[in-house]
Amino acid sequence: MDCVFCKIAKGEIPSKKAYEDDSVLAFYDLDPKAPVHILIIPKRHIESVMEITPENSGIVAHLFEVAAKLARENNLTEGFRLVANTGKDGGQTVPHLHLHLLGGRSMKWPPG
Ligand code: AMP
Ligand code: ZN
């Protein structure tokens, strides 16, 4: 499958890794939108939030556990933002489920 994040998960495209285990990979965004900007993905291809089912939703809890660990490791003690852009209106550009961990500056609300 021609999916850039599947290729990153397999090591076919290089990335700067922040965390890895059997089912999850976290790596630094190429075009950071905050001082800390890490993408957290399941290694297995899931297209978006809309493809989460009772059978595969365990990975979602794991993505959040990794987000909390990375937030601690990056000293984001004042807080951070987790984002899962979904579909066209959500601004999703890579059709492989990912959480953006954004921190190190104050975030605006509502987002643009
Ligand atoms: P989204 O727009 O929510 O789908 O987020 C996709 C993110 O992936 C963007 O923030 C891109 O900067 C980032 N991105 C795309 N290709 C790569 C890559 N090869 N390595 C790291 N980050 C990437
Ligand atoms: Zn994929």
Asked if the structure places residue 75 within a domain, the reply is yes
> Cβ(86) to ligand 1 under 6 A?
no
> Cβ(61) to ligand 1 under 6 A?
no
The tokens 């987002």 sit on which residue?
A: 111
Task: Determine which residue's CA is closest to atom 20 belonging to ligand 1.
Answer: 30
Question: Residue 82: CA atoms inside 13 Å, Cβ hemisphere, count?
Answer: 15
**What is the count of structural domains for the chain?**
1
| Interval between CA 7 and ligand 1 midpoint (Å) | 13
Asked if the structure places residue 74 within a domain, the reply is yes
pLDDT in tens, 27-85: 999 999 999 999 999 999 999 999 999 999 999 999 999 999 999 999 999 999 999 99
Domain containing 88 equals 4-103
What's the rounded Cα separation, in Å, for the pair 96 and 99?
A: 10
- Tokens read off for 22: 């059997």
What's the rounded Cα separation, in Å, for the pair 75 and 91?
A: 28
95, pLDDT greater than 90: yes
> Amino acid letter at 18?
A
Mean pLDDT value across residues 97-101? 98
> Cβ(84) to ligand 1 under 6 A?
no
1, pLDDT greater than 80: no
- The reported pTM is 0.98
Residue 112 pLDDT: 84
The active-site residue out of 37, 62, 98, 100 is: 98
Asked if the structure places residue 109 within a domain, the reply is no
- Tokens read off for 63: 């993505």
Asked if the structure places residue 110 within a domain, the reply is no
State the CATH number of the domain containing residue 32: 3.30.428.10
